[in-house]
Amino acid sequence: MDALDKHLLNLLQTDFPLEAEPFRAVAEKLGISEDEVLRRISSLKDEGVIRRIGAVLDSARLGFASRLCAARVPEERVPLFVGRVNVLPGVTHNYGRSHACNIWFTLIAPSEEELEGTIERLSQETGIENIMTFRAARTFKIDAKFLFDEPPPEEETPPAQEREGRPSTPS
């Protein structure tokens, strides 16, 4: 990754334009062509740096049900189980852990009934019983950003007082 890729990633995470041609607007901010922006995004996606570009929404406020799920999956059945979990449309994360419950994933569904039905079908399809589900008591991390050490171009860097949430005062 070069410095321009890093600036592009920062911009995609912190200041993605909500307009009809967002990648053209990104290109203008970076001083490159829209084709170059799309080429760089495609390359970063191919390299596994970018998984997806999309909004972070509050599923509960939209009326959806969500759960953190955990399962004890015998090692020889992990590929089957993980493969089934990964194709579920409401799965946002799926990861293995060194724990008795070795597969953990998050699941979002339009309703409690659909969420429970999805877990039941997953259990039936994989033979993994007792998939535990946990309701969130509070949010610890949301809208994570992975910013790079390289600062944005100088004209975009706000004065220190603004960065700290205080208005600038004349000296």
What per-residue confidence (pLDDT) applies to 74?
Answer: 96
Secondary element (H or E) of residue 36: helix 34-46
Calpha distance 98→85 (Å, rounded): 18
pTM for this prediction: 0.63
Exposure of 21 in the CB half-sphere (CA atoms within 13 A): 9
Q: Which fold has domain 3-55?
A: Arc Repressor Mutant, subunit A (1.10.10)
pLDDT, one tens digit per residue, over 39-58 is: 999 999 999 999 888 877 78
What per-residue confidence (pLDDT) applies to 159?
Answer: 43
Chain length of the chain: 171
**22-30 and 34-46 helices, crossing angle to 10°:** 100
Calpha distance 49→91 (Å, rounded): 20
Binned average pLDDT, 10 residues per bin, the chain of 171 residues: 93 91 96 97 94 82 93 96 94 91 96 96 95 85 66 45 36 34
What per-residue confidence (pLDDT) applies to 150?
Answer: 52
Architecture of domain 65-134: 2-Layer Sandwich (3.30)
Domain boundaries, the chain: 3-55, 65-134
Calpha distance 80→68 (Å, rounded): 20
